[in-house]
Homo-oligomer: A and B are copies of this chain.
Amino acid sequence: MPKNKQFNKEIVLEAAAGIFRQKGYNGTSIDDILTATGLSRSSLYDSFQDKHNLYLKSLEFYKDSNDKKIQTVDEKNLNGLEKLETMFKSVVNHLVEHPDDNGCLLVNAAAEMSKQCFKTSQVVCNNKDEVQDILSSWISDAEQKKVLKLHKPAKIYGQFLYNTLCGLRVMSQSGAGKTELNNVVKVALDSLN
């Protein structure tokens, strides 16, 4: 049978997501992608159709690996509030320790592409709804375990905390430092009581 593929699709998608995150969709050239992924021109078009398709595939890959990170927190033996704290701490840590690492591809995609590409907007919107649901479930859990006493339905706090999360990504790209981001998280989590 034929020669095997000489690259790993997931590694390529991760590298592609990285370069799209740095330079945006329109700011990234095919040559940028080739050097970032190590792929040859032919392999790229053979395996990923074209630039736009590769963008969508790497956006979905990025979303999936984001989901997995959240699931890792979810599987820990913690109550909902502790899960929230863990998650926010790791998000802020990542933002602070990788200031050059250019923000969240999903946020960047929402800003640059969501109104021009329906499929991008679908991924971005699905991510929003899914993350909100997980956050809401953590909040419900904290309420059930009497760690929190809510004044509003858990779903609303899920929406609020997702908003906080989006804000953190933008603020980090707007030059906010560690203290600033930690302050935001502190007020947001305190507001649950």
Pick from B108, B125, B163: contact of A167, CB below 8 A: B163
Pick from B116, B151, B186, B187: contact of A27, CB below 8 A: B116
A145-168 near B? 1/0 per residue, CB < 8 Å:
000000110001101101111111
Q: Does A89 touch B at the CB level, under 8 Å? A: no
- Tell me how many residues of A have a C-beta within 8 Å of chain B: 50
Q: Is the CB–CB distance between A170 and B110 below 8 Å?
A: yes
> Please, which residues of chain B bring their CB within 8 A of the CB of A175?
114, 121, 124-125, 128
A32 to B174, CA, bound (A): 27
CB distance from A38 to the nearest CB of B (A): 23
Pick from B111, B125, B160, B180: contact of A103, CB below 8 A: B111
Q: Is the CB–CB distance between B173 and A159 below 8 Å?
A: no
Q: Does A8 touch B at the CB level, under 8 Å? A: no
- Among listed A18-26, A56-64, A75-83, interface-contacting one: A18-26
Pick from B25, B116, B162, B190: contact of A191, CB below 8 A: B190
Q: Is the CB–CB distance between B170 and A111 below 8 Å?
A: yes
A-B CB proximity, top 10 nearest: A191-B191, A167-B167, A26-B26, A163-B167, A125-B175, A166-B170, A111-B111, A160-B187, A166-B167, A26-B27
20 pairs from A and B in contact (CB 8 Å cutoff): A24-B26, A26-B27, A27-B112, A103-B111, A103-B115, A107-B111, A110-B173, A110-B174, A121-B175, A124-B174, A124-B175, A127-B174, A128-B171, A128-B176, A156-B187, A157-B187, A159-B184, A160-B184, A160-B187, A166-B167
A residues adjacent to B (C-beta < 8 A)? 22-27, 100, 102-103, 107-108, 110-112, 114-116, 121, 124-125, 127-128, 151-152, 156-157, 159-160, 162-171, 173-176, 180, 183-184, 186-188, 190-191
